[in-house]
Structure formats: structure tokens, C-alpha cells
A = this chain, B = another copy of it.
Amino acid sequence: MANPLTPEVLADPVALTRALVDIESVSRNEKEIADCVEEVLRTAPHLTVDRYGNTVMARTDLGRAQRVVLAGHLDTVPHNDNFPSRLDGDLIYGCGTSDMKSGVAFALHLAVTVTEPRFDATYFFYDAEEIEDRYNGLKLVAEAHPEWLAADFAVLLEPTYGMVEAGCQGTMRATVSTTGRRAHAARAWRGVNAIHAAAEVLDRLRAYEARTVTIDGCVYREGLNAVRINGGVAGNVVPDRCEVEVNYRFAPDRSEEEAQAHVREVFEGFEVEVTDSAGGALPGLTQAPAREFLAAVGEEPVAKLGWTDVARFAGLGIPALNFGPGDPNLAHAPDEHVEIGKIRDGAATLHRWLALS
């Protein structure tokens, strides 16, 4: 098959977005798109290319004082009657248009067209972001070859609708349990009802006042929510156990350990088991490449509330932010689309920041 990523397509981020969307790449099926991306990167004399599974990297080595990473994932969620792409006025519809092939188009366009960036640049195209953690190409490379990701600043091209979303909140899940004593429901006073005991757990959740934390001008709004509740033995039995699963979204000024301690304190007196935890990422907007990036965008950054792969960069000690043309609210939706104007504006912004002239 001829590579659809021709020089003409690579020169135009809008055409490149469509071309990338039209290469099917549902998670675990990224070989074809990775092959196409690798091939065009290898034709650029100013880049050194590496590959790890279906993750492709390219880097300049111009001896700049600082290095930046531009990263995007190649995979999409499964199609939903939205493949291939279609144009409707100023909108490109299709699976991956927003999340995040328009962002990937930015990185690929810059990689082949900006031959002399102001910072040394690492372009990182990875697989399996939309599925289980263990397949995530960024995670796998960070474990196997952390040196490939060494940088002073990273831009993750996730959909932000042209805004800068900095850092990200952490997330943890815990199971808060109540116990009781079983009894026949006809003689309930012989038992202790664990579901009734969960009233106190829910009362505390209902009364909980979440923090709002401002860091580097970004406002992080926390939340503590029951996401599941389960209890009961049979229709005629006083139940002896009830479990409430809570999800705590915490601002990046708190470590995972502090977040856990906080949840244990909120539910003091109850059994609390942490089942899942991922730390947040500080926005890290004080370094030169980040400050210059913000100047190029010309807008105040806002806090990223959901957890994203910027936290993986944070885990490597690299400040990172999200910036992409897609609308995050359209990600994974059947009517997913991206505005052509947002692609053009975003590409121009990145050029302003990265290109020497």
C-alpha cells in the first residue's frame, strides 16, 4: 500500500489529520499507522528515529540547551459508525479526529517541517493509550528506555480545545466497608444491619467539602464521590457487610500517600482499603520552555482535572501540559469531530513557539 502521508499531506496539518484518521488504528491494531509514521520520519535527514513495538520516536540532536517532547497516541477507541472521516463545512468528523489524531498531526507536521527547532525536540508517537495501562506505549518506553524520554518539558497533544491544560489531578479509589451480624429479617434485632451502618459513610460523603487549590495560576477542584455501593445477602436476611467504593480526585499538591491518609481520615472508624491510585502532576509552568510556550499560546493555563499521561512525564521529573485542537467533551463520542480553525490556530501557535524564525 502506498503511504498516504505524502509530502503534500505532511505540509498541511488539516489534510494530515484526515489522512491519519483514515488509517484505522483501534487500540492493539496500530501496526499500519506506526509503519506509515516511521517511514516518513526516516526520510527526514534532521531526525534520528527509533521504534519500540508500535511506538515510534524521532529526535533532533542540534546541541540545544534544552529539549522538549511532543507526544501523542496513535490509537483510538473502537469505531462507532464514524469511520472513515468526513468533512462537513469547517468540521472534520470521525473516530480519533478530536482524540487525538489532530494532535498527532501537529507533532508529525512539526517533526518533518521544522528542521531547526529552538529547542531540541523529541517527537513521540505511542500505542495503546485507550486501553489497559499495561499496554500503554509511553509507560512501556518509560520503563524500558527512560533515556529516550529525557527532556526539560513535554507537550501532550490531548484534546484541550486550544487551551493549555496544565498538570493533572491524581485519582485514587478505595473501598469503605461496614460490617454487621447476619440474622433472619423476621428477627432483625438479633442482627446488626451493615447497610444501615453505611448511612454514616454516605452522610460523611454528602457533608464533605472538597478543596479548591490554585497552583501556578491553575485552579484544581477536588472531589470525593461514591462510585459504587453494594450490600445484601438475601431478601430475608439482615446483611452483615456493605461496601462503598469511593473515588478521590486530588490536586497535584498532594502526594498519593497524603491522599490516602486524607481518605482514611475522612472515613475514620471504618475499614478502608485502597484499590487503585495514581498521583497527579504539578503544572510546572515556571521553566523557560513552559513559559515561552504559554507566551506563544497567549492565554492563561487552566487546570487539567482528569488524569492523563502528563502524570507519566511528571513521574520522570519532566513538567508537562496538555494542548490540542480537539474538544475533550467529544472524545469517544459517536459524533466526534474537530474544527479546522482550531487545527490551523494550534499549528500556528506551535510553529511560533518551536521554529527559530
Contact = CB atoms under 8 A, between A and B. Distances in A.
A171 B236 CA distance: 9
A235 interface: yes
A239 B226 contact: yes
Interface string A305-327: 11100000000000000000000
A187 B242 CA distance: 26
Interface core residue of A173, A185, A221, A242 (most chain B CB under 10 Å)? A185
A228 B239 contact: yes
Q: How many copies does the complex hold?
A: 2
Contact of A186 (B195, B276, B306): B306
A196 B189 contact: no
Contact of A227 (B203, B223, B230, B232): B232
Given A221-B189, A306-B184, A307-B186, A198 B247 contact: no
A235 B242 contact: no
The contact size tier of chain A is 35 or more
A138 B14 CA distance: 77
A62 interface: no
A156 to B, nearest CB: 16
Nearest to A275: B235
A296 interface: no
Contact of A247 (B187, B228, B236): B236
Contacts of A225: 185, 188, 193, 195-196, 238
Contact of A226 (B195, B205, B247): B195
A150 to B, nearest CB: 29
Interface core residue of A193, A225, A236, A249 (most chain B CB under 10 Å)? A225
A356 interface: no
B198 A171 contact: no
A256 interface: no
A229 interface: yes
B186 A249 contact: yes
A233 interface: yes
A340 interface: no
A160 interface: no
A248 B307 CA distance: 44
B233 A230 contact: no
Contacts of A187: 223, 305-306
A284 interface: no
A227 B237 contact: yes
Given A184-B306, A203-B203, A244-B195, A227 B221 contact: no
Interface string A265-294: 000000000001000000000000000000
Interface of A: 169, 171, 173, 184-189, 193, 195-196, 198-199, 202-203, 205-206, 210, 221, 223, 225-239, 242, 244-245, 247, 249, 276, 305-307
Across the A-B interface, the 3 shortest Cβ-Cβ residue pairs: A228-B232, A199-B202, A195-B226
